[in-house]
Amino acid sequence: MKYLLSGILFLLVLINHHDLMADDLPADAHILHFDDVQNDFQDLHFKDENKIKPGNSIFVIIDKYFMSNALGERWAVITIKNTSAGKRLLKNENIVATYADGSQSTAQNIDETLDGLDVLTKAVLFGFHKFPILTVVLQ
């Protein structure tokens, strides 16, 4: 009985805490907005041995626009071209975002097949992060 009451009390506190946190966020916190600064930060020199470096790729990024929301979701609308004459698979690990703190992550929703010389524009999710995306590169 003692444990049951403790469990119920814990759930009530947890639910109340969740409600308080939800009240702190604006109603449109989940809505994505284009980030204001759209500089091309290609010459970054963060100190990190685990940095993912761009490699030679048959894909090229033609254009990119970064988006985020109050919850910390990080997205990019990316236009990519397959420079090969043949069909190629573009995978999540081929696209790497670098954040303002120097950390990096790969795309989460990009697995696409592109025919030779095809161009694709897609909204790409990079997950949740405290810092904004500075650049996106192919590897």
pTM confidence score:
0.74
pLDDT-derived band at 24, boundaries 50, 70, 90: confident
128 pairs with which residues across the strands?
73
Res. 25 pLDDT band, cuts 50 70 90:
confident
- Residue 106 falls within a domain, yes or no? yes
Is residue 56 included in any domain, yes or no?
A: yes
Local structure of 106: helix, strand or coil: strand
DSSP β-bridge partners for residue 120: 80
Confidence of residue 17 (pLDDT cuts 50, 70, 90): very low
What is the amino acid identity at position 96?
V
Q: Are 37 and 4 a contacting pair, CB within 8 Å?
A: no
pLDDT digits (tens, 9 = 90+) for 97-128: 999 888 999 999 999 999 999 999 999 999 99
Is residue 134 one of the residues assigned to a domain?
yes
Q: Has residue 77 been placed in a domain? A: yes
Average pLDDT, the chain: 82
Judge whether 29 lies within some domain: no
- Asked if residue 23 belongs to a domain, the reply is no
Q: For residue 14, what pLDDT band results from cuts at 50, 70 and 90?
A: very low
Residue 98 · residue 106 · CB < 8 Å = no
Residue 31 falls within a domain, yes or no? no
Look at residue 64 and tell me if it is in a domain.
yes
Domain membership of residue 66 as a residue range: 46-138
Say if residue 15's pLDDT is above 90: no
**Are residues 52 and 96 in contact, defined by beta-carbon separation less than 8 angstroms?**
yes
Alpha helices in the chain (DSSP H): 2-24
The predicted model gives 27-32 an average pLDDT of 89
- 42-49's contacts with Cβ under 8 Å and 24+ in sequence apart are 42/135, 44/98, 44/102, 44/134, 44/135, 46/98, 46/102, 47/102, 48/102, 48/103
Q: Are 114 and 91 in contact (CB under 8 A)?
A: no
Count up the domains in the chain and report the number. 1
Where residue 132 falls among pLDDT bands split at 50, 70, 90? Answer: very high
CATH number of the structural domain spanning residue 86: 2.60.40
